[in-house]
Amino acid sequence: MLPGVVRSAGIRALISAGYKSVEDLYANPPDAVILTGAEPQQPELTEELFWPALERLLQWLAEAVPSAMVSCLSAHAAMWAFHRAPRRMLLDKCSGVFEQVVDQSHPLMAGVGETAWPHSRFNEVPVPDLAENGYEELAESRHGGWTVARGERGRCQLLLLQGHPEYGPYTLLREYRRDVRRYLSGIQGSYPRLPNDLLDGEGTEALVEFEMKLAFKGRDPALMQDFPFDFAARHVTARWDAASGALVGNWLQSVRQRSDERLYIDSGA
């Protein structure tokens, strides 16, 4: 568990019982690390409670691990930790599924084909900052920003994910339901926008109808009992499983190759 990440007592107990500490990771560097994100709690990354531990982990990855997949907030953190390239807050949350322009010529994108991938974020690192710091942009949406980029830092190949190829088909819908609940509880100031291109017409209509009904009622978390989640879930049309499987499979092949290369170099052969 990364120090500074706020979790409930139950989750902390579960992690303590079933997971090793980050110090164990430092003591036994693996062939690859997958570093996921978290929902931002502060305007600046450096203000997050976990920032010192996250920055230390990123700097260690660059020198000790051959390959790393770094997603969402952690991808933005990597751009700041390594290059002092700041993320930029968006006017509205970027949430939805976006058609991708994929670099089909790159080995990491072999077999991905035409696809749309999910995004769910409040911030972005602008595309020019990737190129200026030596990163290859492998997948980008014209409306959702870059999704996948690759670069080198120290001894480590970094695969940066600003999007969420790992999401399941209903993850965005669950996040949307959570944000509606936060609005009705007074935690969130404005009603969330529907995720882009996630649902067919019937599913979209059902969620818009629910929102319109709320306009005549006060904020009350009890109203969530009428949220049509099950109906909407049956109308999720976006699918990206095959493309994501191809990306991960290609990355794992590159992990093995880089690990073999490191063993060869370290052995002095």
Distances (CA, A) of 100 to 4, 118, 127, 251: 35, 10, 14, 18
Q: Which two tokens stand for residue 120?
A: 């769910």
Active site residues: 72, 164, 166
